[in-house]
Amino acid sequence: MVSHLMPEGDRTGRRLEADQVQPFLLESSDIRGRLLRLERVSSEILRRHDYPDPVAQLLAEMLALCGGLSAMLKYEGIFTLQASGDGPIRVMVVDVTSEGAMRGYAGFDRERLAQAVTDAGGDRPTVPALFGKGSLAFTVDQGDYSDRYQGIVALDGDTLADCLQHYFMQSEQLQSGIVLAAGRRGDGWVSAALVLQRLPEESVGEIDDEDDWRRAMVLQASCRPDELLDDGLPLNDLLYRLFHEEGVRVFEPRPLVEACRCSGERLEAVLGAMPRPEIEELKIDGAVEVTCEFCTRVYRFDEDDLERIYAP
């Protein structure tokens, strides 16, 4: 479905519900974009974990970033963002399948995190302060029938958006603008992303093209976090508010849901690949318990289960 946006209250195009990615195109410059607001997805993923606010906010932003970037790609499989380092946050992972199933988790040290917050002196800690020396990797895994693609960027920018924008420009010659926002709403979280990209074939170096891109960046930068997170402001209305002078064409939105891919069968395969003596050392009260880091579901394998798994 393709629609041209009209003024608020006057157009007949469909309005976007939360937890969907809205693809769009700026017609005056052929700059493509993605806009999304995650409500159920962010809330359901974060509600399962006792994350302090700095970790929860960053993970919520990473969920929105992953949803926005993955929607720029054509793939059949899994798109993953993983940040890791030697700082208070050891690892943060978000992935989304080509069907739109998202999950995410973070591993961190509470004492070191509290110190980083204190050191920030009331400001929000930067990405390097939270991750230390580290990197952000994004991976497209399409299974056995396609090569695995991975890009890696150092976590040098103050924000996740800074890190990715630098990578795209330096490594892919792909001009990108990324705005992220996240915040609490009641007992849940909402996060959002506005991503603009200009493909290399669209960047022919003409003055008008550069002016178009700079104008798009100025308009994008005018988008306030409260606008991105306001569930009373339909995202198509926000697109019109920001880019109506450029002409906005929207396409069929892509739904996103929270869904973990863990299963007893997968864990049995993992256990079966490990030597039996190592598994025996993991027993507690006669059974091995494995907790999924994404959804916190606990799988228990007793002696009968292990005998079946290791049967010749």
CA distance 59 to 95: 12
| CB crowding 21-56: b at 16 or more within 10 Å, else e | bbbbbbeebebbbbbbbbbebbbbbbeebebeebbb
What pLDDT does 77 receive? 92
Rounded to 5 degrees, what angle do the CA atoms 6, 12, 14 make? 100
What pLDDT, in 10s, does the model give residues 74-106? 889 999 999 999 999 999 999 999 999 999 999
User: Strands 257-258, 101-108: parallel, antiparallel or unpaired by DSSP?
Assistant: parallel
| Cα dihedral sign, 44-47-48-54 | positive
27-75 pLDDT, tens digit per residue, is: 988 899 999 999 999 999 999 998 999 999 999 999 999 999 999 988 8
pLDDT higher than threshold 50 for residue 16: no
Flag whether pLDDT at 309 surpasses 80.
yes
Report phi then psi at 306, rounded to 5: -70, -35
- What secondary structure, in 3-state letters, does 64-85 show? HHHHHHHCCCCCCCEEEEEEEE
pLDDT attached to residue 9: 45
Q: Could you tell me the pLDDT band of residue 10, with boundaries at 50, 70 and 90? A: very low
**Please, which residues have CB within 8 angstroms of residue 276's CB and are 6 or more apart in sequence?**
306, 310
pLDDT at position 164 is 87
Distance CA 41, CA 257 (A): 6
The pLDDT of residue 149 = 84
pLDDT at 4: 62
Taking each helix axis as running N to C, give the angle between helix 110-119 and helix 53-70, from 0 to 180 degrees, rounded to the nearest 10. Answer: 90
Nearest CA-CA partner of 106 in 277, 283, 296, 239:
296
CB 87, CB 134: distance < 8 Å: yes
pLDDT of residue 14: 38
The per-residue pLDDT for range 99-150, each reduced to its tens digit, is 999 999 999 999 999 999 999 999 999 999 999 999 999 899 887 667 778 8
Do residues 179 and 223 touch, judged by C-beta distance below 8 A?
yes
The CB-side HSE value for 152 (13 A sphere, CA atoms) comes to: 4
Q: What is the pLDDT of residues 147-172, one digit of tens each?
A: 778 889 899 899 999 988 888 877 66
Q: How far apart are CA 219 and CA 228, in angstroms?
A: 14
Asked if the model's pLDDT at residue 203 lies above 90, the reply is no
What is the Cα–Cα distance from 256 to 17, expressed in whole angstroms?
Answer: 11
Query: According to the 3-state scheme, what is the secondary structure of the chain?
Result: CEEECCCCCCCCCCCCCCCEEEEEEECCCCEEEEEEEECHHHHHHHHCCCCCHHHHHHHHHHHHHHHHHHCCCCCCCEEEEEEEECCCEEEEEEEEECCCEEEEEEEECHHHHHHHHHHCCCCCCCHHHHHCCEEEEEEEECHHHCCCEEEEEECCCCCHHHHHHHHHHHHCCCEEEEEEEEEEECCEEEEEEEEEEECHHHCCCCHHHHHHHHHHHHHHHCCCHHHHHCCCCCHHHHHHHHHCCCCEEEECCEECEECCCCCHHHHHHHHHCCCHHHHHHCCECCEEEEECCCCCCEEEECHHHHHHHCCC
Residue 219 one-letter amino acid: L
pTM of the model: 0.90
Instruction: Write out pLDDT tens, residues 173-187.
Output: 678 899 999 999 988
Residue pLDDT, tens place only, 227-262? 999 989 999 999 999 999 999 999 999 999 999 999
Instruction: With beta carbons less than 8 A apart as the criterion, state whether 27 and 246 touch.
Output: yes
pLDDT at 12: 37
